[in-house]
Amino acid sequence: MAATEIAVLEPGNRVQLPAEWVKSLGLCGSVSLERTGDGIHVRPAAARTWDEFFATKLEVGSADNAADTDEVELTRDDLLF
């Protein structure tokens, strides 16, 4: 595996990693990006549980009470749960 590769920054800020690197590093699905002074580190993303995924959900009643209810659009899809 080469230590340095040149990749094209594609439209939408996409970078295609060399297939050999992806395979050898065990990258698949989601990855973790870390911005450093040297550049960007790409690592396998840690698996998250559903509890961790929904930990940042909105709390009930956290919406702004001053919002004008005349501007709220409600459809039948909003009532599905």
Q: Residue 8 has which token pair?
A: 């094209």
Domain ranges of the chain: 26-53
Residues 48 and 65: their CA atoms lie apart, in Å, by 33
Residue 79 main-chain phi, psi, to 5 deg:
-95, 0
Q: How far is CA 48 from the centre of its chain?
A: 12
59/66 Cα distance (integer angstroms):
17
pLDDT, tens digit only, all 81 positions of the chain: 678 889 999 999 999 999 999 999 889 888 999 999 999 999 998 888 888 777 777 667 666 665 566 667 777 776 766
